[in-house]
Amino acid sequence: MQLLHTITDLRAALNQYRHPAVVPTMGNLHDGHIALVRQAKPLGDVTVATIFVNRLQFAPHEDFDTYPRTLQADCAKLEAAGCDVVFAPNEAELYPQPQTYRVQPPSVLADILEGHFRPGFFGGVCTVVMKLLSCTQARTALFGKKDYQQLMVLRNMVQQFAMPIDVVGGETLRAEDGLALSSRNGYLSAAERHQAVQLSAALKRLAETLREGKTNYVALANQALAELTAQGWRPDYVVVRRRADLQAPQRGDALVVLAAARLGTTRLIDNLEV
């Protein structure tokens, strides 16, 4: 496995390949990331993981400076999974001058849910992903479904810019108790980690109720939100949305339930397709 830090070296290494399959990450990798790498293996002629903590998607009060950087451990996991190339640029390499050109996703998708509570987040995500896909000359790019709205935003970006890239979603990996794997799970105390399963459990109950045919979507979501609040969480949202575009659903739509909530100082997100 090659570990590369410059765009010049990356492009030289990938020049011989026609179909790179790329997994963009911010590092601090868990089994969900590794599953994406394994999923990528048969989808291209070279498998590339990128590791870059992207300042553009962090608000000033968020955890950019304290976000875990674990490059050595990440590379060991990636090599064991059969990754061929790791691209881990520093900020000066990826942003040698201020990134004044930005990708601005449409507000109808990017300013709701995560975008409402993290203004500018998806613009930062789209900009760095656009740049990483350009650097790697990706033909397939894989992103986890745990970040459901992000996957949708990026899939639409690639489509609207007519980029010759297949965007593939990887299923959410969960711990045995149901908690979705996330790099931010490491911020939880032992007691909080034990309690954290309540988020996925609330979504599971909500999804089961919807499968029974109930369509009072707002009331059911508000009930789940109230349950989490009573258990000590500080929810940002619990919603039922149309899977196609994350707008308010109509009877007969394919659905997804999504939630974001803080437990202590840690903000967790999760979703379930219904």
Q: Are 259 and 269 in contact (CB under 8 A)?
A: yes
Told to judge if 116 belongs to the known catalytic residues of this protein, a careful annotator would answer no
Distance CA 244, CA 59 (A): 28
Q: Which of 5, 19, 30, 33 is catalytic?
A: 33
Checking 239-246 for CB contacts under 8 A at 24+ apart, the result is: 239/113, 240/206, 240/210, 240/274, 241/113, 243/273, 245/108, 245/109, 245/152, 246/109, 246/112, 246/113, 246/149, 246/152
The SS3 of residue 261 is strand
CA distances from 241 to 40, 164, 260, 267 (A): 29, 29, 14, 21
Question: How many CB atoms are located within 10 Å of the residue 109 CB?
Answer: 17
Q: What residues are paired with 40 via a beta bridge?
A: none
Q: Are 228 and 235 in contact (CB under 8 A)?
A: yes
Q: Are 181 and 175 in contact (CB under 8 A)?
A: yes
Q: Which of 84, 102, 73 is nearest to 10 (CA)?
A: 84
Question: Catalytic residues, which ones?
Answer: 33
